[in-house]
Amino acid sequence: MLLSLRHRILALLIAIVSVNMLGAGVTLWYTQRSQALQSGIIDMEVGAMNAAYGLTSELLSQRGYTTYFFLNNDPAWLTQLEVHHKAFQQELERARNVSVIPGGREILNEVESQYIRYVYAREQVINHYKNDRREDGARLHWSIRERFHNILALCDQFRKLHEESIRAQRQAYLNQSRLLVALAVAGILLSTLAGAWLGLVMLRKVLNPIRDMAAQTRESLLHTAEIAAPMENEVEALGDKLRILISDVGDVQKQLDASRESLMQSEKLALVGKLAAGVAHSIRNPLTSVKMRLFSLERSLELDEHQREDFEVVSEEISHVESIVKNFLEFARRPKLRPRKQSPSDVVDMALKLLRHRLESSGTEVVLNRAERLPELPLDADQLKEVFVNLLINACDALVTGGRITVTEETGLMDPMGEVVVIRIADNGPGIPADIMDRIFDPFFSTKEEGSGLGLAIARRVMEEHGGWLHVRSGEEGGAVFVIALPGNRRSTWLRS
């Protein structure tokens, strides 16, 4: 059964990758093996060699002290002899701990046995010298020299045994190196053959057809005068044509989207125009009449402080309704700002004062976090106040009964605006569902049955006209957080939106 081109290319790629992975695995195994081998040589063989040299050195260091004591009867020589005697025993113990090759411990046991007999005989010689039996001591001293040389020969034998072990380990290392080189050469040959085969398949089954397609594409492009340069890279030629097609499709899609959005916006604006005309004739005149009657009543009646405050609140609410009607009428055209220098904190205070009775009657607690009053900025206080009022009313409605609204003022730096004044209005209500979070600023979108869906759209456009923006996000402890940012004029810390 013949394999398809796709399966043949895939099989060759798998073969190349497998050979490379096998080579990498062998190299990794060899590296770990080499590390283990070198570690064994360093930890065991070299340690054993050092112990062997230590045994020989300490044994040779004991030679002569008994003779020196015989010559001048100075006990200091015996003290030095005892020091090297203990050192020899320590080296003997160390050699026994590090020697693991066959025959090593047997030699050390023989060294220990003969050394014990040697030390015993040497003690007898020293006692003869101490008791002035110098001739007896000299004869015995001469007889133990052969035992000393036997111990020295055993120490040399122990050293040579480990030298031979090191040579054997080195030879094993060289043998493994030769094996790795052979495997590497075989892997290179296999990778070369598989690569050559893959190249042949790609040339015959992929590159040549691509070249033919590119040539045909170039001829068609030359007829349409789109390109005239010679073809040097078939894939690039096809890629250029494909990019042109993708770009054309993308441009067409963008145009369609823009046309669709423009059509929808035009329909909305047309509807707003019709509604605005009806609202203007139906509401503006009654509102004007109500304001005149209230003004007359306020001047003709003797009102106490609380009643006068109620009249002022009613008047402000009527002005608020007038402002809403005005915004509704002007939604189809960009707002005309009348900026003047004023602190946004003053606007926040005006909005809170205007809504004080409504907030208190609904049992809503308002927390104002203000370290210091915000700096004065060029802004339209009336339009900005409507933004704050709209957001506060939405937060109050979201709380239904009770709850907390937190207004936070601060200055700082924020990408990409730089220096900003930030005002956050957060509530601890149920929050905004994630599926409508991106739609709440769309015109005519509202979750309230009596809502027109224009409040947040107007608020965002007002902020954009001020050079700032209005965003919304979910609160860390629930609820919603509306973030208002205005361009500032002083530096502070970086802020999070």
**Residues 397-414: tens digit of each pLDDT:** 888 677 889 999 998 887
Measured in whole angstroms, the distance separating CA 363 from the mean position of its chain's CA atoms is: 45
Comparing CA positions, the residue from 361, 364, 356, 454 lying closest to residue 406 is: 364
pLDDT in tens, 316-337: 777 767 766 665 665 655 567 8
Q: Report CA-CA distances (Å) from 223 to 43, 171, 249.
A: 79, 74, 21
Q: What's the chain's length in residues?
A: 497
| In CATH, 5-196 is 1.20.120.1730 | yes
Strands 365-370 and 404-414: parallel
Q: What is the mean pLDDT of residues 118-140?
A: 84
222 vs 371, which has greater pLDDT? 371
pLDDT score, position 368: 92
pLDDT in tens, 18-44: 777 777 776 777 676 666 655 555 566
Q: Report the percent of the chain where pLDDT is more than 70.
A: 77
Looking at the structure, give the CATH architecture of the domain made up of residues 340-487: 2-Layer Sandwich (3.30)
Q: DSSP states of 85-113 as a string?
A: HHHHHHHHHHHHHH--STTHHHHHHHHHH
Cβ atoms of 403 and 427 within 8 Å: the answer is yes
Cβ atoms of 113 and 150 within 8 Å: the answer is no
Per the prediction, the chain carries an average pLDDT of 77
pLDDT score, position 423: 92
Cβ atoms of 162 and 48 within 8 Å: the answer is yes
Cβ atoms of 391 and 405 within 8 Å: the answer is no
Task: Round to whole Å and give the CA distance between 472 and 437.
Answer: 8
Cβ atoms of 110 and 152 within 8 Å: the answer is no
pLDDT score, position 221: 55
**Residue 95 pLDDT > 80:** yes
Task: Round to whole Å and give the CA distance between 433 and 42.
Answer: 68
Comparing CA positions, the residue from 455, 450, 447, 411 lying closest to residue 431 is: 447
Task: Round to whole Å and give the CA distance between 117 and 41.
Answer: 34
Say if residue 418 is exposed, middle or buried (CB neighbours under 10 Å; 0-12, 13-18, 19+).
exposed
Task: Round to whole Å and give the CA distance between 346 and 194.
Answer: 78
**Residue 494 pLDDT > 50:** no
Comparing CA positions, the residue from 90, 93, 106 lying closest to residue 161 is: 106
Measured in whole angstroms, the distance separating CA 38 from the mean position of its chain's CA atoms is: 38
pLDDT in tens, 165-187: 878 877 877 787 788 778 777 87
pLDDT score, position 232: 54
When pLDDT is cut at 50, 70 and 90, the band that residue 136 belongs to is: confident
Task: Tell me phi and psi for residue 473, to 5 degrees.
Answer: -150, 165
**Residue 354 pLDDT > 50:** yes
pLDDT in tens, 96-105: 887 777 888 8
pLDDT score, position 145: 83
Task: Round to whole Å and give the CA distance between 455 and 118.
Answer: 110
Task: Tell me phi and psi for residue 425, to 5 degrees.
Answer: -115, 110
When pLDDT is cut at 50, 70 and 90, the band that residue 288 belongs to is: confident
Give me the residues paired with residue 481 across strands: 426, 473
Task: Round to whole Å and give the CA distance between 462 and 297.
Answer: 35
| Residue located via tokens 């602190």 | 343
- Torsion, Cα 195 197 198 201, to 10 degrees, reads 160
pLDDT in tens, 71-87: 788 888 888 888 888 88
Q: DSSP states of 438-495 as a string?
A: TTTTSTT--SSTT--S-HHHHHHHHHHHTT-EEEEEE-BTBSEEEEEEEE-SS---B-
Q: Give the residue extent of every domain in the chain.
A: 5-196, 233-333, 340-487
CATH class as words, domain 233-333: mainly alpha
Q: What is the mean pLDDT of residues 177-202?
A: 77
